[in-house]
Every structure is written in structure tokens, then in C-alpha cells.
Amino acid sequence: MNDPYPERCLIVDDNPAFCATARTVLEAGGIEVVGTAASLRDAVAVLRAARPDLALVDIDLGAESGFDVVEALHAEPVEPLAIVLMSTHDELEFADLIEASSARGFVPKFAFSAELIRGLVG
């Protein structure tokens, strides 16, 4: 029986400590982290090389917008990719932008878990 959940994940976040924590949480939940990136350019490069099923993208990437990263990843000619936005900010601050994006949903960083991610993309 095939697992209906994504198994291979790309984390796009410019905070190395959060990337390490997210990797631990996801891998403990059975989701393999195949790469991390801190910029749009690096995210596209990892996507092309590692072919993840899922990308978790921080909304605030310093000088870059996670919304731009979402659209760039969505435009890549790869297998269907589930994209989830995340942030330390409240979802209501970005509700219209999240709704208009190609992302499947939003996860607050304070509530980050493999189960929550799977609930959005399952």
C-alpha cells in the first residue's frame, strides 16, 4: 500500500536553526528532508536536483518574499509539488496573499509538526 503523504521535503528558510529543528521534526514524523535553501535561486536549484514532493517555504526570507519562491517553484516543470507556506507571523496578516498563491496552505512555525503538514497536503 502506498503512503498518500509526501515523503521527500525541501525546506526554504533563511534561519539555519529553524531548518535544523524542522528537519528533526519532519524526519521523526517519517518525512525525509532532501534539502534546505535560504533563497529563491537555491530553492529552485534544490528542487531541480532533489525532486522533492513537498516544499515548506517561509514567507519572510529577508530580502526575498516566500510568495515569490512559491510561484517560482510552482512554475518548474516537475512532478506535482505540494507547497506549504510557514511563518512566525499570524496567518491573518497574510490571508489574502496566501489565498492568492499556489500554496496548499499555511502552517504557523509555533505549531509546526509533521502531522499538521500532512493534514494540509494529504
Alpha-carbon 45 to chain mean position: 15
Q: Which residue carries 509526501 as its cell?
A: 6
Q: How many domains does the chain have?
A: 1
Average pLDDT over residues 21-26: 95
Asked if residue 116 is part of any domain, the answer here is yes
- For residue 67, which of 35, 89, 52 has the smallest C-alpha distance? 89
- How many other C-beta atoms are found inside a 10 Å radius of the C-beta of residue 9? 26
CATH for 45: 3.40.50.2300
Span 33-78, pLDDT tens digits: 999 999 999 999 999 999 999 999 999 998 899 999 999 999 988 8
Asked if residue 50 is part of any domain, the answer here is yes
Which residue range is the domain that position 94 belongs to? Answer: 8-121
Those residues with Cβ within 8 angstroms of residue 1's Cβ, 6 or more apart along the chain or in another chain: none
Asked if residue 111 is part of any domain, the answer here is yes
User: Under a CB-based contact definition with an 8 Å cutoff, are residues 84 and 103 in contact?
Assistant: yes
- pLDDT interval class at 1 (50, 70, 90): very low
Asked if residue 3 is part of any domain, the answer here is no
The sign one gets for the Cα dihedral 27, 22, 87, 8 is negative
Those residues with Cβ within 8 angstroms of residue 85's Cβ, 6 or more apart along the chain or in another chain: 57, 58, 59, 66, 67, 70, 94, 98, 101, 103, 105, 106, 107
Whole-model pTM: value is 0.92
Asked if residue 1 is part of any domain, the answer here is no
- How many other C-beta atoms are found inside a 10 Å radius of the C-beta of residue 115? 10
64-65/32-37 β-pairing: unpaired
